[in-house]
């Protein structure tokens, strides 16, 4: 097995076995072997946490193991993140991101945040369990181009619908991208979101498509009135 595959496998295993030191060692090894940090994060750390998700769902892991795995993932991310190459220094725009009220899951949200940051967006992270008002106020205050919402539970996901209609009434020009394990493309359409992506790996591509769609709609609207 080529060296970098061993390293990716070691990153994944360290998250699954919630071995923080092993995760740090594998992350440092990834850097010294020239493995692309983004590739290591998504194929090592994220895949490891997805496996932990399955072990949790099958009652082989419980909250303590899951939290220790999350700690190992974050230890690896802390080493790899600073080495991700910023696409450009010119800001692509401003986003506000957060996990909705009642939801403290942040691993997925933080991986999505890393992608926006690396791709050149100015990121305002409101953290987890964020009340609607805070999303509304912040996106107005920083004149956000995009509001990015994360929810990991079917229960908390319903908050997104309320946030979208509130933000629409205040600042219709702010685009809204949503995601998280229970969220689907159909749900995003139902809630009136402008965009959806299934993972951190696809969020930037889907965001650029969302912006292109909204620009096209603006042109169509303009053409219809002239
Ligand atoms: C880790 C975890 C926890 C950890 C969170 C640690 C942390 N720092 O985040 C802890 C232990 C705290 C926890 C607590 C609970 N959890 Co929990 N948790 C999980 C677990 C095992 C893994 C989630 C995870 O991080 N996956 C790895 C990441 C990388 O993947 P991801 O989150 O899906 O994110 C990716 C995509 O979804 C997407 N994405 C995510 N957000 C966004 C946002 C945007 C805009 C976009 C575009 C994309 C996007 O991109 C991400 C990266 O590619 C899942 C099981 C599962 N199968 O998902 C249960 C799960 C989400 N939890 C669940 C539950 C019920 C709970 C608890 C209520 C349990 C309890 N009784 O206490 C509490 C609730 C806490 C709260 N109020 O939020 C349920 C939710 C069921 C439901 N209703 O939908 C799940 C599905 C487990 C289960 N099958 O029952 N949990």
Span 208-225, mean pLDDT? 82
94 by DSSP, 3-state: which?
strand
Give 3-83's CATH code, choosing from 1.10.1240.10, 2.40.50.100, 3.80.30.20, 1.10.150.120.
1.10.1240.10
pLDDT at site 88: 66
- Tell me the domain boundaries of the chain: 3-83, 94-225
Pure H helices in 90-158: 107-118, 132-141, 154-157
pLDDT at site 182: 97
CB neighbours of residue 49 within 10 Å: 20
pLDDT digits (tens, 9 = 90+) for 79-125: 999 998 876 667 899 999 999 999 999 999 999 999 999 999 999 99
What CA–CA distances, in Å, run from 68 to 36, 44, 157, 184, 205? 25, 16, 25, 28, 32
pLDDT digits (tens, 9 = 90+) for 151-162: 999 999 999 999
List, in sequence order, every residue forming a beta bridge with 19; answer none if it has no partner.
none
Q: Above 80 in pLDDT, residue 221?
A: no
Q: At what angle do helices 3-16 and 47-57 cross, to 10 degrees?
A: 40
List, in sequence order, every residue forming a beta bridge with 177; answer none if it has no partner.
148, 195
Q: Ligand 1 pocket check: which of 181, 197, 202, 204 to mutate, most ligand atoms within 8 Å of Cβ? A: 181
**DSSP letter, residue 150:** E
- The reply to whether 94-225 shares the fold of 3-83 is no
pLDDT at site 149: 98
Which CATH number is associated with domain 94-225?
A: 3.40.50.280
Q: Whose CA is nearest to atom 65 of ligand 1?
A: 153
Enter the pTM of the model.
Answer: 0.92
Across all residues in the chain, what is the average pLDDT? 94
pLDDT digits (tens, 9 = 90+) for 9-51: 999 999 999 999 999 999 999 999 999 999 999 999 999 999 9
pLDDT at site 1: 61
pLDDT digits (tens, 9 = 90+) for 134-193: 999 999 999 999 999 999 999 999 999 999 999 999 998 999 999 999 999 999 999 999
Task: Enumerate residues lining ligand 1, CB below 6 A.
Answer: 46, 49-50, 52-53, 56-57, 63, 66-67, 70, 102-109, 111-112, 148-150, 152-155, 177-182, 197, 199-200, 203
Say how many Å lie between the CA of residue 153 and the centre of ligand 1: 7
Torsional class of 123: left (φ above 0), alpha (ψ -120 to 50), beta (otherwise): beta
Helices (H) and strands (E) in the chain, counts: 11, 5
């Amino acid at each position: 097995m080529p060296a970098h595959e061993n390293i990716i496998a070691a990153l994944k295993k360290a998250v699954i076995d919630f071995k923080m030191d092993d995760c740090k060692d594998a992350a440092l090894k990834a850097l010294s072997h020239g493995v692309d940090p983004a590739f290591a994060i998504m194929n090592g750390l994220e895949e490891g946490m997805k496996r932990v998700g399955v072990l949790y769902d099958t009652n082989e892991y419980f909250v303590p193991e899951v939290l220790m795995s999350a700690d190992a993932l974050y230890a690896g991310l802390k080493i790899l993140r600073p080495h991700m190459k910023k696409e450009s220094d010119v800001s692509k725009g401003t986003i506000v991101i957060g996990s909705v009220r009642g939801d403290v899951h942040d691993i997925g949200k933080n991986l999505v945040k890393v992608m926006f940051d690396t791709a050149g967006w100015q990121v305002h992270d409101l953290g987890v369990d964020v009340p609607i008002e805070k999303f509304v106020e912040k996106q107005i205050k920083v004149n956000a181009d995009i509001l990015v919402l994360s929810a990991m539970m079917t229960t908390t996901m319903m908050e997104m619908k309320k946030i979208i209609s509130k933000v629409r009434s205040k600042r219709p020009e702010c685009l809204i991208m949503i995601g998280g394990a229970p969220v689907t493309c159909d749900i995003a359409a139902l809630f009136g979101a402008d965009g959806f992506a299934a993972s951190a790996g696809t969020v930037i591509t889907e965001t650029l498509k969302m912006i292109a769609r909204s620009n096209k709609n603006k042109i169509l609207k303009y053409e219809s009135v002239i």
